[in-house]
Chains A and B, each alone.
Chain A
Amino acid sequence: MMSLLDWVQQLSDDYLISWTNRGLFRRAKRQCEHVKSEHWQISNDKIMGTISDYSLTLSGARIADLDCSCGVLEPCSHKLTFLIALRGETSQAMTTVQFNLDHWLVSNIQSLSPAFSASLVKGAIKSWHQGANVSLTAKLDHGQVVCTLKNGKCFSVYLPATAGWEQALCSCKETHCIHLALAIIGLSVRADRLKMNTAQFSEKIAPSQLEQIVILDSWLDQIIAHGLNNLMPAQLSHGLGLVTELNQADLPNLASRLGRFLAVLSNVMRHCIDVNTNELIAELTYLSLTTHSLQQSVLPQPGYQLTGEHKRRYVAQRLSGLMPVMVEHWQASSGAMGYRNYVFDLELGDWYCFSDGRRVDTERQWSSKNAYHNQQCGQYYLNDLLLSQIDLETKVSSDHTLQCRVSTLVAAPQPVNWQLIWNNPLLAIDMQWQRFVQQSLQVGSNKVMDTLGWLKTLDSYQLRWQPHRHYGEATLMSECGQPIKIRDDNKRVLKEWTNQQPTLLFGRWYYDANERYFEVLKVFIESDFEERLLKSVGARLLC
């Protein structure tokens, strides 16, 4: 049986801060220095003492069993000072229980039911499926779990060394809360202790709702096929009846949109001259899209692996392995400046660019995105520190194809090694050129981004500098034995490259009717990856 003093000993700073707040904790710590605890009555089952003329009693191994005569219901500074002072008292049998996560993990959902209500557990599972993130920091005598919900809210859950729902505490200040359940479920799933059938949590449309949607769909088809010029009053009244039926089938959103559509239709019937055609088309599009998408089957993936607004309309995300390659710095003649950070996807071979900048004056039309298209990049490289601190979690690529803010980081960043890149089939020239051809045919292809590429070479070469043109040129052999002209307008890059060793050139391909060449932006050799990339960059991201 643990004595009360032993119980107090295991209350860590984190626990007490979670229970109160940081400010009160600091104040209590200061107050604690002036406390005299010689006359306190300390026994195994009861501790009595005084703080600032208020008497305090701890009668059980629970925070709720601590009473203060100041009468404040919420945690007061006296209670906190009392607990901190008691921690300083030496226990008769001081034993530190080590934190062990296994005590907290569950192997089936029913294990949670004594402490948590069924609806609360259901809510926690739902938030886990929606992509809530759970991260554990294990300390010697307790564990701290940070639960990040899909909406960005963070809650910190304190798990003491001895398993017991009563002792666990959440920063939302409620006991047995949804965040605690979420933390336990998340940790159990991650440790492979708990298996959940995702299909049973996917949303289903009731048969009566589906029936209504089919009726609405056929009504819409009839209107579109016959045309508004041939609209009959009976169709309109049928539509009005559908609004009521949709409401009865618990589809209020569809019902209200249909109501708006019918209001415009009735204006058409009355031959009003100011019919809002924009609204008519928008409502018709929305209704047809929603009825169509609601009739599709739900994708089998859990919600957190899907992107977009609706499970029935969007596709699963792809797994990418992102590697930042280079930071380019640009400066406009007006004084605005910024950077472009090029990122390569090792799994799919795509290029992304994160760009940002700032202006010096207050032009209303100015946008850092403009700079991405219009401004020539200076050949400066920001220092390596910036490259190592790229934070992908908030970034949106310049063409909006990669939105890290809605994606999930599935694993901790891993080092990128030279062999992984050198042997990557996506770096073969024919693969790269196939991609250029596909991308140049697409609408909105972007020459700055789509032509980025790699060139692997084992040769050393002598650059012929052409001062009147401000660039140097050389020809080297590709892996497949073709001569390739490379061009480099930055002397600094080539100074570093003198030895005959496997070299990876990063740059842009230029292909035109009269000439084709590769413009070198940066040169990588094996030691670059050992010294810099290994310790700094490389992230795997699900997007």
Chain B
Amino acid sequence: MLADELGQFFERWQYLSMQIINQGTNNLNISTLNKLRNWQQHALLLGFSPLISLCEPLLSQESTCDQRVKALCQLLQYMEGLKKASVRQWIDNGIE
């Protein structure tokens, strides 16, 4: 059950991150920003609280260009680490 939920969460990030990289952190359109907000909610529901604050610079109008780039890099690194950890967990426990 949790594996399904997490799988969906990672899949959404895969699609969303590619969209952000394609558009560039300076030129995100409203649709992408809305998707990012939804994904942020999903992260909150799953309990990944550090992700919430990392999304903020990308969503805020006041943040500088540099802050947005740094936030995206950190999000990418965090999600990569999370993915590796969950894959390891699935391997250890046997994928149900």
Residues of A with Cβ closer than 8 Å to B?
Answer: 221, 224-230, 277-278, 280-282, 284-285, 288-289, 292, 365-367, 369-370, 373, 400, 442-443
Contact = CB atoms under 8 A, between A and B. Distances in A.
A225 B20 CA distance: 9
Residue from A225, A228, A369 with most neighbouring chain B CB atoms (10 Å): A225
B76 A288 contact: yes
Given A225-B69, A277-B18, A284 B27 contact: no
Chain B contact residues, majority secondary structure: helix
Nearest to A364: B94
Nearest to B15: A277
Contacts of A366: 94
Contacts of A365: 94, 96
A284 B76 contact: yes
Contact of A285 (B18, B48, B76): B76
Residue from B46, B68, B76 with most neighbouring chain A CB atoms (10 Å): B76
Contacts of B88: 400
Contacts of B26: 225-227
B27 to A, nearest CB: 6
B77 A285 contact: yes
Interface residues of B, number: 27
Contact of A225 (B18, B47, B65, B80): B65
Given A224-B69, A226-B27, A280-B21, 11 more contacts: A221-B69, A224-B24, A225-B65, A225-B69, A227-B24, A227-B27, A228-B24, A229-B22, A281-B14, A281-B18, A367-B92
Given A224-B73, A288-B77, A369-B92, A281 B17 contact: yes
Contacts of A224: 21, 24-25, 69, 72-73
A43 B61 CA distance: 96
B24 to A, nearest CB: 2
Interface string B1-31: 0000000000000100110011111110000
Residue from A227, A292, A369, A370 with most neighbouring chain B CB atoms (10 Å): A227
A182 B46 CA distance: 50
B93 interface: yes
Contact of A228 (B14, B21, B46, B77): B21
Given A225-B69, A281-B17, A289-B77, A443 B25 contact: no
A366 B96 CA distance: 11
A424 to B, nearest CB: 31
A280 B22 CA distance: 11
Chain A contact residues, majority secondary structure: helix
A292 B80 CA distance: 15
Nearest to B65: A225
Nearest to A222: B69
B94 A278 contact: no
Contacts of B24: 224-230
22 contacts: A224-B24, A224-B73, A225-B26, A226-B26, A227-B21, A227-B23, A227-B24, A227-B27, A229-B22, A281-B21, A282-B80, A284-B76, A288-B73, A288-B77, A289-B73, A289-B77, A289-B80, A365-B96, A367-B92, A373-B93, A443-B46, A443-B48
A189 B65 CA distance: 51
A285 B22 contact: no
A229 B17 contact: no
Contact of A227 (B22, B76, B77, B96): B22
B62 interface: no
B70 to A, nearest CB: 8
B73 A225 contact: no
Contact of A443 (B47, B73, B80): B47
Residue from A221, A365, A367, A442 with most neighbouring chain B CB atoms (10 Å): A221
Contacts of B69: 221, 224-225
Interface in B43-96: 46-48, 65-66, 68-69, 72-73, 76-77, 80, 88, 92-94, 96
B94 A292 contact: no
Contacts of B65: 225
Contacts of A288: 73, 76-77
Given A278-B14, A443-B47, A225 B92 contact: no
Nearest to B48: A443
A277 B23 CA distance: 14
A370 B17 contact: no
A218 to B, nearest CB: 10
Contact of B14 (A229, A230, A277, A292): A277
The 5 closest A-B pairs by CB, nearest first: A227-B24, A288-B73, A365-B94, A285-B76, A443-B47
Contacts of A230: 24, 27
A280 B19 CA distance: 12
B68 A225 contact: yes
A226 B48 CA distance: 28
A14 B65 CA distance: 68
A21 B9 CA distance: 59
Given A288-B77, A443-B48, A228 B94 contact: no
